[in-house]
Amino acid sequence: MSQISIARPAPIAFPSRFKPLAVNLNLRAYFLLAPSLVFLVAFTYWPVLQVLWQALHQQDSGHTVFVGLANFTAIFADSAFRNALVNNLIYAVATVVPSLILALGFAITLQQSSWVNGLLRSLIFAPVLVPLIAVSSLFLFIFLPGIGLLDHYLAMLGLAGANWVGDPDIALYSIVGLTIWKNAGYYMLFFLAGLQAIPAEAGEIAMIEGASHWQRLRYVTLPYLHNSLAFVLVIALLNVVTQVDHIFVLTKGGPSESTNLLLFYVYQQAVEHYDIGKASAATVVSLVFLLGLSAVSLRRMEQSAEAQT
Amino acid sequence: MSNRLLSMSALAVAACLTTFGAAQAATNIEMFFPVPVDGQLARDMGTLVKKFNDTHPDIVVTPVFTGSYDDTLIKTNAATKAGKPPAAVIMSANFLTDLVIEGQIQPFDDLIKASGKTDDEFMGQFFKALHPNAVINGNVYGVPFQNSTPLLYYNKEQFKEAGLDPEHPPKTWQELIVAAQKLTKRDGERVTRWGITMPSSYDYCGWLLEALTMSNGGRWFNEDYGGEVYYNAPSTLGAVTFWSDLANKFKVHPTGEQKAPGVSTAFLAGQTAMMVLSTGSLTHVRKNAKFPFGVAFVPSNVRNAVPIGGASLVQPKGLDAEKRKAGWTLITWLTAPEQSGWWSRATGYFAPNKGAYALPDMKEFLAKNPEAKIALEQLEYAKPWFATYKTLAVRKAIEDQMQAVLSGKVEPKQAVETAQKNADEIMRPYVERTALKLPAMN
Amino acid sequence: MSRRRFDLDDLWPRFGRVAVIAAAVLWTVPFIWMIVSAFRPSDQGAAAMASLIPDYRPTLDNFREAWADANFPLYYLNTTIMVAGILAVQIVTMSLAAYAFARVKFPGRTVFFYLFLAQLMLVPIALLVPNLATVARLGLYDTLLGVMAPYFATAFGTFLMRQAFRTIPTELEEAAVLDGARWWHLIRYIYLPLSKPALIAFAIVSVSAHWNEFLWPLMVINSPDNRPLTVGLAMFTMGAEGAQAWGVNAAGTFLVIAPLLICFALFQRRFINSFVTSGLK
């Protein structure tokens, strides 16, 4: 038990509680990490190393040549890649912000448990249960020009419809609409959970002090939801970069590249162009993009957690 | 105790060995297939494979549904790289040139030779137009399985209503515009029925534009060399302009990109009086149309010509000899006249094997379904499907432009120039190491 | 409190409520269409396809067709095994790792932590080919285990649990150690129960991610017997030659989501309440 503590005598004033925790379990830490590490090595680090290696090489009729950063300069010179990057940014902002606001609104309005609220929650949550691949074919019909659900009812109201996913000017926003529909209920759930943690007294005190609904929202509810907000932000950001099934089924990045996103660009390079070098370089860039996004939000999450303890 | 354990494990090993021995009698192989229309066809494929397994006791085929044509390509490449190549894949026929250049599939020549035939004799059973997409650099890489051409579908009822003769569909571009104008119905600003709709989503867009270019006398690409396309040729410009005019000038065709499922749905709902779609959709349209419909050749401007479409059976590299042979048995069986004809009747694709049309079942079917006969007659004018180095990217170069033209964002002239420039850029590495690799002077 | 101000203030929640009800109705429209068209007979034609009001005698033909095309109960089972299996293993790996990161000081802790986080950025498509090769080498090709294996370690889960573990007072642990508890007792009886909200939040993320997954299972699975729901559904949703059987498609989707939706409606209240722990926070 104490071999390690003998080897490294603790200072006299050291608080006793650090002894069993910090020193004794030292070796055990690696043992605790081992199960995760085995899978991470096999399915993350090893393939990522391959990707990095490929990003620096070019496959040319069976030969592999080291090309340094040529793949990176190639993708940045590729207007399709820059276009995908811009599209992804627009898509990220246009889906995350409204989804979060809607989800928050839903959660606050439906926080009291009653059967009506239960029903409404279920209705709003329902899209989460439909696999994205089925959502896409459902919306393929909804978006059909002329005959689809949207245009059919717009025509009844005497409004001209649109070619929702066939017009390069609006296709990306139609995809945004689909994504908000699919995800708002998902995020609502986390906010509902966060709201449960607000002590009832907090709201009551504010009420007695004559705070308006807005003031209560601003000064009582939102500060408590800080944690949930940070959490939802992280998953929402990860979603906008890593989930592209609907692009696969609905638009394939078209028309005229208007709905091409980073991950779909990677797919095109790897599968359609047989260009593993460029695909890997684009992967590395999207990795950095994601790393940046999630580092910021994870740090926020960490800070808000620390602020609470 | 330990003795008992020992004898038990010995028993278990013995049991394993026996089952292994039994299983070895039959070769287990997999066939990847994309699903062409709906679940029904996946079931038909199951029926077909079951019939094969019943008649070939030494081979067990598992039919593996692999999503769309694109998904099938990814899955085949991934499985091959992972050391698990399937013994047969139904692969979109225009991927073949690319797969050969990238070294992903292997030729069948040795297997054909072993069966006592020459390549020409073997390919001779299939329609001539299918050869260029299957025989690459003199080797047979694909065996045609389900093939199609674009076809003009029209609603006979609406033809009558518009004062057109339902037995004489438009033959030329001129006639097409006249008919489409009569067929288009407006309610104020809103169009309630379009004269004609052609799908312009990726894949379909390039295929139909190739059809229009060919019927405008053009070639679209160099059939003998994978590094050349003729996007800025007058014949292509004419085709792009014609499609653009239908939408933007005559306003008888909806603007913006049209997705193929949307086009067939609009046709079935009577919201477009004519459409151009694959012969592979024939069965679906026949089953679902609530009105008499007719089919006709794709209207032409200079000559009758359409590209081939559809899929061939291929074998990836890396198969062991036994599985390769079993896969070959399956491939030849599936493409034999009887099966070829059966699948054709189930789907609407034409049967690539000419022998299928000599069978009584097929004769009877054609007599009952005259539209299937028209699809067959058009084959006489069929030409190879567009296939180059990096086919999909090169095709997309013009599709992106065509979609922009249909949305009124780019003029046809500028579109074909941009498309040509982008396509040349994509093919440059290949051109540089082939056509432009010239003998050096010392 | 003046009378006027009270009225205005009271109006906001009501307005919010009306807006939410309107949104909920809007949210439901695609489902209504799905249900209406799943029961629509095919001889109805395509003319009124977009109608949300059934104007026909309902038929079960589409369901019959969908049921015959795909073995839904089996696919359901496969997806359930897959999703539950991933989650079960994840809970083990992530709570062990999280405990190490939260409570054990060891050389390289920060480095390891960032190494873990790298997995968050995993872009699945790029890793498809190398991962499939690994799965095949392990003999897991065409098995559900092969679909699950790459997800057994989770950076996101580890991060969440580490955060939750750090909020638990060390005094609890010390007391347990004095009573002779070993480290696995600590994790099992102190850390995990006290981190229930984080655990549930993670479970939702994990389950919904793998429930939706299509491309990776499509790569790994060959045998029809191992197919998950998404791959089975794709048989209806992918029309390659421009034809789409909308009714059958709707019926298939309906069959997939109905059981889950009923479960959620019945248990959502308990489910949301389960986020709230006793005592802490």
Domain covering A70-308, topology: MetI-like fold (1.10.3720)
pLDDT of res. A286: 80
pLDDT average, residue stretch B148-152: 94
What whole-number distance in Å separates Cα of residue B282 and Cα of residue B258?
A: 19
Residue (of C77, C80, C157) closest to A234 by Cα position: C157
Strand pairing category for B309-314 and B143-148: antiparallel
Does residue C16 register a pLDDT over 50? yes
Asked if C153 and C38 sit in the same domain, the reply is: no
- Rounded to two decimals, the pTM is 0.87
Task: Work out the mean pLDDT of chain A and round it to a whole number.
Answer: 82
Contacts from A272-275 at CB under 8 Å and sequence distance 24+?
A: A272/B70, A272/B390, A272/B392, A272/B393, A272/B396, A273/B390, A273/B392, A273/B393, A273/B426, A274/A59, A274/B98, A274/B102, A274/B390, A275/A59
| Mean pLDDT rounded to a whole number for chain B | 90
More confident residue, B226 or B410: B410
Q: CA-CA distance, A176 to A178, in Å (whole number)?
A: 5
**The residue to which tokens 């995908």 are assigned:** A84
Which residues make up the CATH 3.40.190.10 domain(s) of chain B? 2-147+309-379, 150-307+384-433
Q: Please give the single-letter amino acid code of residue A263.
A: L
Name the pLDDT band for A305 (thresholds 50, 70, 90).
low
Domain that holds residue C132: 67-273
| Spatial CB neighbours of C154, under 8 Å, sequence gap ≥ 6 | A36, C90, C93, C94, C119, C202, C206
What's the whole-number mean pLDDT along residues A95-120?
91
Instruction: Say whether pLDDT at A6 is over 90.
Output: no
Nearest residue to C249 (alpha-carbon basis) of B266, C241, B198, C257: C257
pLDDT tens, B227-278? 999 999 999 999 999 999 999 999 999 999 999 888 999 999 899 999 999 9
pLDDT classification of A2: cutoffs 50, 70, 90: very low
Residue B349 has what DSSP assignment?
P
User: Which residue shows structure tokens 């992106």?
Assistant: B400
Binary contact (C243, B38; C-beta < 8 A): yes
Is there a domain that residue C279 lies in?
A: no
My answer on whether C22 and C84 are in the same domain is no
Query: Mean pLDDT throughout A79-99?
Result: 93
Task: Give the contacts of B84 (CB within 8 A, at least 6 positions apart).
Answer: C136, C141, C142
Query: Predicted confidence band at C3 (pLDDT cuts at 50, 70, 90)?
Result: very low
Distance CA B45, CA B33 (A): 9
| CA nearest to C249 within chain B | B38
The first and second tokens of residue A95, run together, are: 């889906």
Same domain? For C49 and C159 the reply is no
pLDDT digits (tens, 9 = 90+) for C25-48: 999 999 999 999 899 887 766 667
- Please report whether residue C280 resides in a domain: no
Residue (of A272, C66, C76, C236) closest to B67 by Cα position = C236
Q: Do C131 and C255 have their domain in common?
A: yes
Say what the pLDDT of residue B135 is: 94
Asked if residue C4 has pLDDT above 70, the reply is no
Write the CB contacts of A47 (distance below 8 Å, at least 6 apart in sequence).
C126, C127, C130, C131, C134
Q: Do C1 and A210 contact (CB within 8 A), yes or no?
A: yes
pLDDT of residue A29: 87
What is the average per-residue pLDDT within A108-132?
88
DSSP letter at B336 equals: S
Q: What is the mean pLDDT of residues B379-385?
A: 92
State how far the Cα of B148 lies from the Cα of B279, in Å rounded to an integer: 5
Task: Residues B2-147+309-379: name the CATH superfamily.
Answer: Periplasmic binding protein-like II (3.40.190.10)
Strand B27-33 versus strand A57-60 pairing type:
unpaired
Most confident of A175-179, B220-224, B384-388, C170-174: A175-179
CB contact under 8 A, B407 and A61: no
Task: Supply the pLDDT for residue B15.
Answer: 45
The pLDDT, as a whole number, for residue A176 is 96
Question: Which run of H or E residues covers position B331?
Answer: helix B321-334
More confident residue, A286 or B146: B146
- Which subunits count as partners of chain A given 3+ CB pairs below 8 Å? B, C
**C14 with C72, same domain?**
no
Find the CB nearest B400 among A155, A256, A271: A256
CA distance A139 to chain C (A): 8
Q: Which residues contact C29 (CB under 8 A, 6 or more apart)?
A: A149, C52
pLDDT at residue A302 greater than cutoff 90? no
Same domain, C208 and C186: yes
Q: Is C249 on the interface with B (CB under 8 A)?
A: yes
Q: Which residues of A touch B258 (CB under 8 A)?
A: 145, 163, 166
**Residues of chain B neighbouring C65 (CB-CB closer than 8 A):** 39-40
CB contact under 8 A, B256 and A61: no
Q: Where are the domains of chain A?
A: 1-40, 70-308
Six-digit token string for B437: 């690799």
Q: Identify the domain boundary among C20, C41, C59.
A: C59
Of B62, B82, B278, the CB nearest to C241: B278
Residues 6+ apart with CB under 8 A from A294: A234, A237, A238, C117, C120, C121
Substitution target in B38, B89, B282, B290 with the highest count of C β-carbons within 10 Å is: B38
CA angle (C276 as vertex; C275, C281 as ends), nearest 5: 120
Q: Reply yes or no on whether the pLDDT at B12 is more than 60.
A: no
Asked if the model's pLDDT at residue A107 lies above 50, the reply is: yes
- Give percent of chain A with pLDDT exceeding 70: 86
**Top-confidence residue, B423 or C62:** B423
By mean pLDDT, which of A122-126, B3-7, B43-47 is the weakest?
Answer: B3-7
- Let me know whether C192 and C217 are in one domain: yes
Q: For an interface test with C, which of B28, B31, B47, B65 has the most C Cβ atoms less than 10 Å from its Cβ?
A: B65
State yes or no: pLDDT of B20 exceeds 50. Answer: no
Interchain contact, A17 vs C28, CB within 8 Å = no
Whole-number pLDDT of residue B85 = 94
Measured distance CA(C159)–CA(C101) in Å, rounded: 9
Closest by Cα among B149, B96, B133 to B348: B149
**Interface pTM (ipTM) of the complex?**
0.84
Q: Are C123 and A289 in contact (CB under 8 A)?
A: no
Q: Give the least confident one: A189-198, B1-10, B120-129, C166-175.
A: B1-10
Give the pLDDT score at B287.
85
Mean pLDDT in residue range B159-187: 96
- Of the pLDDT bands very low, low, confident and very high (cuts 50, 70, 90), residue B398 is very high
- What sections of chain A are H helices per DSSP? 3-7, 18, 26-40, 46-55, 70-77, 79-109, 115-129, 132-142, 149-156, 171-196, 200-208, 213-216, 222-242, 245-246, 262-267, 276-308
Higher pLDDT, A303 or B300: B300
Tell me what pLDDT residue C200 has. 87
Give the pLDDT band (50/70/90) at residue B119.
Answer: very high
pLDDT in the model for residue C241: 61
* pLDDT computed for residue C260 by the predictor: 83
In this model, does residue C77 exceed pLDDT 90?
yes
Identify whether residues C129 and C251 lie together within a single domain.
yes
Tell me the angle at which helices A26-40 and C109-117 cross, rounded to the nearest 10 degrees: 20
Q: What is the rounded distance in angstroms from the CA atom of residue B305 to the CA atom of residue B386?
A: 13
pLDDT of residue C87: 96
Residue A8: the pLDDT is: 36
pLDDT confidence tier of residue A137, bands split at 50, 70 and 90: confident
Bridge partners (DSSP) of residue B314 are B89
Which pLDDT band, with edges at 50, 70 and 90, does B396 fall under?
Answer: very high
List chain C residues with CB under 8 Å of A133. Answer: 212, 214, 230, 233-234, 237
What is the reported pLDDT for C239? 57
Pairs across A and B, CB distance < 8 A: 100
- At B22 the pLDDT is 44
Provide the CATH number for the domain around residue C127.
Answer: 1.10.3720.10
Helix (H) or strand (E) holding A57: strand A57-60
Amino acid type, B19: T
Confidence band of C249 (pLDDT split at 50, 70, 90) = confident
Tokens 């009086």 belong to residue? B273
Q: Is the pLDDT score of B109 beyond 50?
A: yes
Q: Phi-psi region for residue C242, left (φ > 0), alpha (ψ -120 to 50) or beta? A: left
Could you tell me what percent of chain B has a pLDDT over 70? 93
Which residue from C75, C250, A247 is spatially nearest to B65, judged by alpha carbons? C75
For B275-284, give one letter per residue: b (16+ CB within 10 A) or e: bbbbbbbbbb
B150-307+384-433 CATH fold: D-Maltodextrin-Binding Protein; domain 2 (3.40.190)
pLDDT at A94: 96
Mention every residue, 6+ apart, whose C-beta is less than 8 A from residue C244. Answer: A137, A140, A141, B37, B38, B261, B264, B265
Number of domains in chain C: 2
If you measure CA to CA, which chain A residue comes closest to B259? A166
- Kindly state the average pLDDT of the residues A152-172: 89
